[in-house]
Amino acid sequence: MRYLPLTPDDRTKMLAKIGAASIDDLFVDVPAEARLNGPIADLPAHASELAVERHMAALARQNRAAGDGPFFLGAGAYRHHVPASVDHLIQRGEFLTAYTPYQPEIAQGTLQMLFEFQTQVARLFGMDVANASMYDGSTACWEAVVMARRITKRNKALFSNGVHPHYRSVARTMAHYTGDVVVDSDPELNAASDWAELAASVDKDTSCVVVQYPDILGRIDDMTALSAACAQNGALLIAVVTEPVALGLIKSPGEMGADIVVGEGQSLGVGLQFGGPYVGLFACRQKYVRQMPGRLCGETVDANGKRGFVLTLSTREQHIRREKATSNICTNAGLCALAFSIHMTLLGEAGLRQLAAINHGRAKKAAAALAAVPNVTVLNSGYFNEFTIILPTDARSLVHRMAERGVLAGVSMGRLYPDNDALANGLVVAVTETVTEDDIAAFAKALTEELA
Amino acid sequence: MSTLNPAGWRPEMTSGEAGAGGVPATFTGNRALMLEEPLIFEIGTRETTGVDFDEVAEDFDLGPLTRSAPIGLAGLSESETVRHYTRLSRQNYAIDLGLFPLGSCTMKHNPRLNEKVARMAGFGDVHPLQPQETVQGALAVIHELADWLVKLTGMASVAMSPKAGAHGELCGILCIKAALEARGEDRRVLLVPESAHGTNPATAAFAGFTVEGIPATSEGRVDSDALIARLGPDVAGVMITNPNTCGLFERDMKKISDAVHAAGGYVYCDGANFNAIVGRVRPGDLGVDAMHINLHKTFSTPHGGGGPGSGPVVLSAALAPYAPLPVVKPVDGKLRLVEEENAADHQPDSFGRMTAFHGQMGMFTRALTYILSHGSDGLRQVAEDAVLNANYVLRSLDDVLEAPFGASGPCMHEALFSDRGLADGFSTNDIAKGLIDEGYHPMTVYFPLVVHGAMLVEPTETESLDVLDQFIGALRSLAIRAKQGDEALKTAPHFAPRARLDETLAARKPVLSWQGE
Amino acid sequence: MARYFTEEHEWLDVDGDTVTVGITDFAQGQLGDIVFVELPAVGLDLTQGGDAAVVESVKAASDIYAPVDGTVSEANDALDADPALANSDPEGEGWFFRMSLGDASQLGGLMDAAAYKNFCDNL
C-alpha cells in the first residue's frame, strides 16, 4: 500500500519492543464479539493510483461542468473566473497540510493570512471586525441570529422574504430545537423588497431582522430606514451577502447601518464544487466582538518585540467555555478563506470594482436580451449580476428542456420553493464575467424556441 | 515602504544567540531562507490589480446605492501576490514537512491524487442547483462514499451534509431530539464524560440540552457504573468518545449502550478517533446510534490550516428516519437528491436542513479517492499501523515521561503522557516549545483536561520506523532536560520564525484587523 | 465598613446596605494574567450563589458568583479599559461591582480575613 511506510520487518521489531505477540494483542480491549477478523466482506481491496483515477474520472464525466456551455446559475453560488495562481498557492503543502494555528511560532503564515482575510472581509462589509470564517453562508446566518439573541436577550427573528430559502430553512430547523422564533415567508413576484413592511413590524420583542442583499430574486434596496427602525426598537439588523463581488459596486451593509453582516464567500477564489466546501463570512461592530462565534486572529508581539499573530479571545470558544461557549463551531474554512483572500489580493480594490462593473454590465445585456423574448418579462427594477424573469410557463420543467438544448438557464423558483405555485413561472438568472455574448445569444435563442 | 539605506547602516552583532560572539543582525530582518513579510496592506495599493480583464467596464451609477467611498482593499500584481503567499507559507509547519503528532487531530499524509480528482471539471466546476440529470456522477460519488461509510461502521445509513465534526455532532444530537419528539418525550439531559472534547458539551448546549458530566475512572475510562446509575426518564442519551480522549478503547461501550437503550436514551459516539479502529471494529456492533466521521482525520482530506472539515454522521436504524435533507437515494433507476419537494415521499421524518447545499462535495471526492486507494484491506492496515506506532511511542518513552494510563492496557492510536516529574517551574508547554526547535510540531497539550499537563501524541500510520525513532529520541532528550531544569527550554523556541508570542497582550487589547488607511 | 470573604475567593466590603465585590489576591494569582472581566448590568437582580460576572485569562474563563442577594448598582468600568487592574490591585481599584444588600443575614455565613487566610492556607 503506497501510503504506508512500515515494512513487515518493522512491525515485528516494534511489537517486540512493545511486548506484544501480535497486532491483535493491541486490540484486546475490544470485546471479542465486536472484533472483525479480516477485511469487511463486500468491500473491494486496495487499488492503484491509475485504477482509482480512472474510476473517479468516469464519474466526473457523468456531470456537465458549468464551463461546458452557456451557464446562468446563481442563487447562492456563483461561477467566477479564478486566477490560476490562487489554486497554485493554496496547494502549497505548508498551507494545504497545516493544522489550526495553535502553535503560533510555527504558524505565522496561516495566522497572518487570517489577519489579512479578517481585514478584507471587515472592509468589504463596512464592519469593524470579522472572524476567521465559518462553514458557509447559511450556517453563518444562523450563528448571527443566535448571537443577536445573546446580545438582546430576545428570541424573535424577523426574516425578509428575500433571504435564500435554504438559509431560512436552516434557521427554521435550528429554531425548532432551540426555542427561537423565526418569522418568515416566501417572496412575492414584486420588484420591491419587503423591507418597508419589515421596518413597520419590528417591535420590542424582536432580537433581529435578517435581510439578504442582493436578495434571492436579485433585488437591491437601501437598508438605512430599516436599520433605524431596528435601532429604535433595540433590535439588530443582520445583512446576508451571498454574492460579495456585488460590494465592489453597491454600498456595503455597514454603510447603511447593519450591525452584523454575514455572507457566503464562495464567489471569490473558491469555485462551485457542487455546493461545498464554501466559506462563511462573519463580521460585526466592535462592541459585539466578545459575542462573536468562531476563531479570531489578533496582532501581538513576540518575546523579542517582533510583530506576530495569534488566535485570540478564545474564551468565547468551545475548547475553553464548553457548554457556555458562543457556538459549538471548532473548525473554520481555513483553506477556502485563503483562496478568498488571495483572489481578493489579486483583484485589489480597483480590480474588484472593475469586476463588479463588468458583471453588472453583462447582466444588463442579458436582461435586455431576455426581455426581448416574447412573453418574457424582467421582474427587477434594480439588480447587480442576478435578476428574475417571469416566464409564461412553469420554469422548472423549462430548465430541464433548456438543459437538453445545452443551456443551463438559471435556477427555477420551483426548485427553490417547491410548494409555492404562485412562484412557479419565476426563473433566477445569474450573469457573471464568465458569460460571453454568445452565451447570452444562445440563451435567448433557445428560450425563444422553447416558448414558441 | 522605503528601504533605501543612504546612511550606509551596517548591522551590529547581537548577543545571546548562536555562538559566543553572537550572530549579525541583518539589514532586512531576513535570515537567509527565513523571510520577513509585511501585510498586503503595507505593500499593496488601492490602485494595483493583479488581474487583467477582457473589457473595460462602463462606469455605472446606481444612485444612492452606488459604493462611492473607498473600501480600503489593497491589491498586488500577480508576481507580488505569488511571492507574498509563498513567503507566508514558509512560516508554517505542515504534515508535508514532517511528523505532526497532534493528538485527536489525525495529521496523516494527504495524497495528491485526491487533490487532482477534486479538481476535475466534472466535480470542481458543477453548481449545486444544476438539473439533477446533469450531475449524476456527483450524486454517484456521494452515494458510493455513503455506502463505504455505512459498511465500515455497520450502521443503517449516513447523513452526508454536515460541514465539519462539530456540525456532525449537532446533526446527531438533533436526530436524537427529533426521535424523542416523535415519541412525545421531553428528555433534557445529555451525559457527557469529563474527558470529552469541548465541542461535545458545546453542541449539546447549542441544541438546547442540559449537560451533566460523568467522571473517569482511575484507569482513564468512563465510569460506567456512575453513568448507568444516572440514567432515567430525563436523560436523552450520552455522548461518548471511543476510542476515548485518553487514547483508550472503552471496554464497556456495549454494556453502556445496552443500558442507555433500556432506559429509553440514545448513544452518540464522537468519531474523532475512528482512525484507530477503521476496518477492525464497527461502531454499529457496539450499540452506537449516531457517530460523526471527520473525513479530514480518518480519510485524509487536508486540514488546510483549520478547515474546511467534513462530518458525515452514520445513524442506526432508530435514528435514520430523522436524517437531515438533502439525502441521495436511487429513485426509478436514477440517483435523486431528496430535498424539501420530495421529502414527503422519501424522508418524511427528516428534522430539516442544516446547510444551504449538499455538504462538502470537494471533501467527498477526496475521501472516496482515499478509501478506494486503500480498499477494505488497506484501511484495516491503517488502523493497525496507527495503533502500532502509538504503542511504540508509548513504550519507548514511559520510562522518562509519566504515562498516567500506561498500566491500563495497550493504547489505541494515541499515547498520553503527563508533566509530573518535571523540574519545578517546568511544564508541558516547555517541552512543546522545545519540540519546535527540534523541527517537529508539538503534540496536543493540556488536553484531555483530566490529566495534569497532558501531552497527547498521535503519530498516525504515516510515519516510518526511522522517523518515529528520531522523534522519540528528541522527546526523550527534552523530557530529560525538563527534569533537569534546563533554563534554555523556558525561552524556546529559539529557531522558529517567532519567539513565544504575547497572548495576554493580544487578548487585553484586541487588534483584529489592520488599522491603517 | 466590614470586609468579608467567600470560599469562591471573592471579597466584599459592606458599607450600610451597599456591598462592593471583587476577587481576592489569592484568586488573581491562581488565574494568572486577567484579560477581560464581564461585569453585570446595573439593575440586574442577583441571587446568592448565582452567576454575577466572568473573569477571563488567556486560556480560562471563571464564573464569579453573587456573594449575597441584591441588585447591581454600579460596575467598575475601569476594568474595561484596563483589565490588568484585577491583577495589580484586586482588593482595591480592581473591584468588580457594587450591589445592594438584600439579606444581611447572609453575611453570617461568610468568612473574615483571618478565617479566609486559614482557608487558603489549607487548600
ipTM value: 0.97
Q: Which residues of C touch A321 (CB under 8 A)?
A: 61
- Give pLDDT tens digits for C98-109: 999 999 999 999
Q: Which residues of C touch A314 (CB under 8 A)?
A: 58-59
State how far the Cα of A304 lies from the Cα of A59, in Å rounded to an integer.
54
Mean pLDDT over the full length of chain C = 93
The pLDDT value given to residue A329: 83
In CATH, what number is assigned to the domain containing residue A73? Answer: 3.90.1150.10
Could you tell me if A163 and A239 lie in one domain?
A: yes
Which of B357, B458, B504 best tests the A interface by mutation, with the highest count of A CBs <10 A? Answer: B357
H/E element, A158: strand A156-159
Q: Which of B170, B201, B356 sits opposite A76 (nearest CB)?
A: B356
Report residue C50 as a C-alpha cell: 448565582
C38: contact with A, CB 8 A cutoff: yes
Interface of A with C in 306-335 (CB under 8 A): 314-315, 320-321, 324
Report residue B150 as a C-alpha cell: 455505512
Q: Count helices and strands (H / E) in chain A.
A: 14, 13
Q: Which residues of C touch A320 (CB under 8 A)?
A: 59-61
State how far the Cα of A76 lies from the Cα of B29, in Å rounded to an integer.
45
Closest CA to A82 of A290, A276, A341: A341
Nearest chain B residue to A436 by CA: give it.
B54
Contacts of B86 (CB under 8 A, 6+ apart): A89, A92
Indicate whether A444 belongs to any domain. yes
With contact defined as 3+ CB pairs under 8 Å, the chains touching B are: A, C
Domain around A142? 84-343
With contact defined as 3+ CB pairs under 8 Å, the chains touching C are: A, B
Where a domain ends, among A343, A367, A397? A343
Could you tell me if A325 and A391 lie in one domain?
A: no
DSSP per position, C51-98? EEEEEEESS-EEEEE-SSSEEEEEE-THHHH-TTHHHHSTTTTT--EE
The pLDDT value given to residue A85: 98
Question: From residue A162, how far is each of A79, A195, A212, A242, B514 by CA, in Å?
Answer: 21, 9, 6, 12, 33
Q: Which residues of C touch B453 (CB under 8 A)?
A: none
Nearest chain C residue to B510 by CA: give it.
C35
C59/A320 touch (CB, cutoff 8 Å), yes or no:
yes
E strand intervals along B374-511? 415-417, 444-445, 455-457
A375: contact with C, CB 8 A cutoff: no
Q: Which residues of A touch B137 (CB under 8 A)?
A: 58-63
Where a domain ends, among A279, A314, A343? A343
Could you tell me if A141 and A260 lie in one domain?
A: yes
Could you tell me if A99 and A151 lie in one domain?
A: yes
Residue ranges covered by each domain of chain C: 2-121
Which of A152, A310, A315, A324 best tests the C interface by mutation, with the highest count of C CBs <10 A? Answer: A315
Cα atoms in the Cβ-side hemisphere of radius 13 Å centred on B45: 4
Could you tell me if A307 and A423 lie in one domain?
A: no
B504: contact with C, CB 8 A cutoff: yes
The pLDDT value given to residue B159: 97
Stated pTM of the model: 0.96
Q: Determine the length of chain C.
A: 123
State how far the Cα of A323 lies from the Cα of A317, in Å rounded to an integer.
10
Phi, psi of B270 (to 5 degrees): -75, 115
Which of C34, C35, C58 best tests the A interface by mutation, with the highest count of A CBs <10 A? Answer: C58
Could you tell me if A278 and A402 lie in one domain?
A: no
C60/A315 touch (CB, cutoff 8 Å), yes or no:
yes
One-letter amino acid for residue B206 of the chain: F
Indicate whether A7 belongs to any domain. no
In CATH, what number is assigned to the domain containing residue A240? Answer: 3.40.640.10
CATH 2.40.50.100 fits domain C2-121: yes
CB B343 within 8 A of CB B325: yes
Where a domain ends, among A326, A343, A360? A343
Report residue B88 as a C-alpha cell: 507566508
Could you tell me if A77 and A89 lie in one domain?
A: no
Contacts of C64 (CB under 8 A, 6+ apart): C8, C10, C21, C23, C51, C52, C53, C54, C55, C96
Indicate whether A173 belongs to any domain. yes
Interface A:B, Cβ pairs < 8 A = 702
B503/C58 touch (CB, cutoff 8 Å), yes or no:
yes
C60/A320 touch (CB, cutoff 8 Å), yes or no:
yes
B504/C83 touch (CB, cutoff 8 Å), yes or no:
no
Indicate whether A1 belongs to any domain. no
Indicate whether A358 belongs to any domain. yes
Q: Position of cell 483572489?
A: A343
Q: Which residues of B touch A276 (CB under 8 A)?
A: 128, 163, 308, 355, 357-363
CATH code of B377-504, in short, is 3.90.1150.10
Q: Which residues of B touch C36 (CB under 8 A)?
A: 507-508
The pLDDT value given to residue A102: 93
Indicate whether A36 belongs to any domain. no
Q: Which of B446, B503, B508 sits opposite C84 (nearest CB)?
A: B508
Could you tell me if A71 and A103 lie in one domain?
A: no
Q: Which residues of B touch C56 (CB under 8 A)?
A: 507
C61/A321 touch (CB, cutoff 8 Å), yes or no:
yes
Indicate whether A10 belongs to any domain. no
The pLDDT value given to residue B5: 78
Residue C120 CA, distance from chain mean position: 16
Report residue A103 as a C-alpha cell: 502553535
For CATH 3.90.1150.10, the residue range(s) in chain B are: 377-504
Q: Which residues of B touch C35 (CB under 8 A)?
A: 504, 507-508
State how far the Cα of B78 lies from the Cα of A418, in Å rounded to an integer.
45
Nearest chain C residue to B503 by CA: give it.
C58
Counting as low any pLDDT under 50, the low residues of chain B are 1
- pLDDT tens digits in sequence order for chain A, 452 residues long: 999 999 999 999 999 999 999 999 999 999 999 999 888 888 999 999 999 999 999 999 999 999 999 999 999 999 999 999 999 999 999 999 999 999 999 999 999 999 999 999 999 999 999 999 999 999 999 999 999 999 999 999 999 999 999 999 999 999 999 889 999 999 999 999 999 999 999 999 999 999 999 999 999 999 999 999 999 999 999 999 999 999 999 999 999 999 999 999 999 999 999 999 999 999 999 999 999 999 999 999 999 999 999 999 988 888 877 778 888 888 889 999 999 999 999 999 999 999 999 999 999 999 999 999 999 999 999 999 999 999 999 999 999 999 999 999 999 999 999 999 999 999 999 999 999 999 999 999 999 999 99
With contact defined as 3+ CB pairs under 8 Å, the chains touching A are: B, C
Secondary-structure class of domain B113-369 per CATH:
alpha beta
Return the sign of the alpha-carbon dihedral for residues B129, B130, B133, B136: negative
Indicate whether A382 belongs to any domain. yes
B46/A348 touch (CB, cutoff 8 Å), yes or no:
yes
Query: % helix / strand / coil in chain A, to the nearest 5?
Result: 45, 15, 40
Q: Which residues of A touch C57 (CB under 8 A)?
A: 315
What is the number of structural domains in chain A? 2
Return the sign of the alpha-carbon dihedral for residues A148, A153, A155, A161: negative
The pLDDT value given to residue B342: 87
Report residue A84 as a C-alpha cell: 490560476
Nearest chain A residue to C80 by CA: give it.
A287
End-to-end Cα spacing for chain C = 28
CB B302 within 8 A of CB B407: no
Could you tell me if A315 and A384 lie in one domain?
A: no
Q: Which residues of A touch B334 (CB under 8 A)?
A: none
CB B245 within 8 A of CB B200: no
Interface of B with C in 443-462 (CB under 8 A): 446
Interface A:C, Cβ pairs < 8 A = 16
Q: Which residues of C touch B445 (CB under 8 A)?
A: none
Could you tell me if A367 and A275 lie in one domain?
A: no
